[in-house]
Every structure is written in structure tokens, then in C-alpha cells.
Structure 1
């Protein structure tokens, strides 16, 4: 399987975090063998891993400049099994980033150091369209990509 970072990018308030939390929720609901590192609390941002048979998926929904992703180096912790026994060694990392700047640079840096492919996906956003529906659609698209990665289509 190709190690991959799926980076959901967009401007502030456009549904990146909600989409990532929905992906986590769907995996835990639809895959009975999925084992989370912690029980996620969807009221805020999430940082956790899910073991899905031999595949480890990491989630970081906090992707703003100067957020935990930057100051606590959470993407590196999800990638590096020596740095973090609890979180490290993920095959797939799903994270939020802005459209440019330090969060994008962080994803690029970790992908290069740890040999990940990077898939950049924009969040779905329409100012007058139901955000919940858009986040669900975006999450289901990411689920299909995860499935394709697992069965080695990508």
C-alpha cells in the first residue's frame, strides 16, 4: 500500500474539520473491526488513530496556522512510529490544512521526510448551501479514496 496523506485544504470556516470528523465517524460506524486509539469527542477537533486490520489511519482535524498541527508537530507524530508509539506509523493520514502557508509546508515536509504520497482535496463549500450535506458528501468521497488505497488501486 502507498503511504498517503490526504490533506483537506480550504479557507477558515469551510468545513475541513467537520469533513474529517465525519470520515472518522463513518469508518467507526461502517467497519466493525475498526479500533480507535481513543473514543473521539466530535464536539471539538480530533487527533486519533484507527487500526483497520493491518492499516493504521491517523486523523488531525486541527489545521489552522499556529495550531496543534504546528506547535505540537502532530502530523510528524502520526507519521513517525519511533517518535510516538501511540500515534506513529500511520499508513494513511487525514488532516486539515489551509490553502497555503505553514500548514501546507508542514504536510509537504512530513510527506517528503517519511515517504508519503500527498493527495490534496479541497473542502466542499457553498455559502448558501447546507454545510452538513456538503461535509457528508466530501467525507464519503474521502472514504472511497481510503478504500482504494487499502485495496491498492491508488
Structure 2
């Protein structure tokens, strides 16, 4: 089953926890054993599995800005000044995450959450979720 999750963002650089939405889709699908493939369809966004703790989120954002600063003379910036967002997404993030499902539940660790990372917002984004039965 393929689902779409709408992720509206309100900030230029934002982390959005989408775990609960994905879990609800698993329940809706009635798949008790399988995998959830979560995929962002945007080149200036990414997905990670990590802890949704404010200090950690601040650290991740700060390190990404340090490693790939905005306005560092990137060739792509002549188009729309968002090369840093594309580079951060392609070098530091994934367009997809895969999570096992067992007994109708996402098999995430105690602190693990599925995090959508917006790098060029605010925008109306979408994430595709494929629930596969195994």
C-alpha cells in the first residue's frame, strides 16, 4: 500500500517528527509483519532516524550549517540561492528510511523517531510511505 503524508513546514531549516503519522498508516494498512519505506520526494529535504530531543536537534542543525554554510560561492546559487540546502541533503541526509514492522508496530528503538528535515522552507512537502507485507 502506498500512502502520502503532507508535511507543511514553517521555517527555513526545520525538523519535523513524522513517526506518529507513519505508525497510523501502518495500523490503517493492517500489515502486521513487513517494512515501511518512507521516502521524501524533494531534493532539499531528507529523512533520518534519531532522537527528537531539542538539544540534539539544535546540535544537528548547527553542525550542518558549519559543514555546509549558506552563501559559500556555490555555482548553483545563481539559480535560486539554495545550493547549501541541496548539498546538505545530498551529503548528510537520506531521501528514504526503512523501518521493520512486527505485530502492527514500527520496530523503532526506545528513543528512535522518524525525522523529516526541511532545508529550504517554508514549503508544503510530501512524503511517500510504502507499507510492504513480508
TM-score by length of 2: 0.30
Greater relative contact order: 1 or 2 (C-alpha under 8 angstroms, separation 6 or more)? 2
Structure with higher helix content: 1
Structure with higher strand content: 2
Larger CA Rg, structure 1 vs 2? 2
TM-score by length of 1: 0.27
